[in-house]
C-alpha cells in the first residue's frame, strides 16, 4: 500500500478526476481532494491510495511535474503527519493563572 500526496491541483479538480488521472497506473483504493471545512472549496491538494507500491511509485515518477488543469502537479509519497505538541497559547477556560484580588 502506498499513500500519494498530489499538490497544486486546480481548485476545480474533484475526487473522480483525481482518480481517473491515476487509474492508468493501476488499481486505486481511494482518491480524495481535501476540501476546506468552512467554504466547501478545494484546498488544492489531495491524496491517492494504491494497493501496489510499485504502481504507485511509477505514477509518482510519471505525474510529478506534469500539467493538469493548467497547473504543474507536485506528486510524491505522502509523509505521515507528525504529532503536534499541545498548544500553549490556545486560551481556554483554564489557561490563565487565577486572579489575586
Mean pLDDT of each 10-residue bin along the chain, 101 residues long: 97 96 97 95 97 98 95 95 68 63 70
Q: How far apart are the first and last CA of the chain?
A: 61
Question: How far is 6 from 54, CA to CA, in rounded Å?
Answer: 17
Question: How far is 76 from 31, CA to CA, in rounded Å?
Answer: 14
Q: pTM for the full model?
A: 0.78
Predicted pLDDT at 88: 64
Predicted pLDDT at 80: 84
Structural domains in the chain, CATH included, are: 2-77 (3.30.70.330)
Predicted pLDDT at 82: 77
* Residue 88 phi, psi (nearest 5): -95, -20
Stated length of the chain? 101
Nearest to 30 by CA among 44, 13, 48, 56: 48
Amino acid at each position: 500500500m502506498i499513500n500519494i500526496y498530489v499538490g497544486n491541483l486546480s481548485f476545480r479538480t474533484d475526487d473522480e478526476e483525481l482518480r481517473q488521472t491515476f487509474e492508468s497506473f493501476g488499481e486505486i483504493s481511494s482518491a480524495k481532494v481535501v476540501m476546506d471545512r468552512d467554504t466547501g472549496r478545494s484546498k488544492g491538494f489531495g491524496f491517492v491510495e494504491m494497493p501496489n507500491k510499485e504502481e504507485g511509485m511509477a505514477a509518482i515518477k510519471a505525474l510529478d511535474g506534469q500539467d493538469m488543469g493548467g497547473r504543474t502537479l507536485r506528486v510524491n509519497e505522502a509523509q505521515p503527519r507528525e504529532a503536534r505538541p499541545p498548544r500553549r497559547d490556545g486560551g481556554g477556560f483554564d489557561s490563565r493563572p487565577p486572579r489575586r484580588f
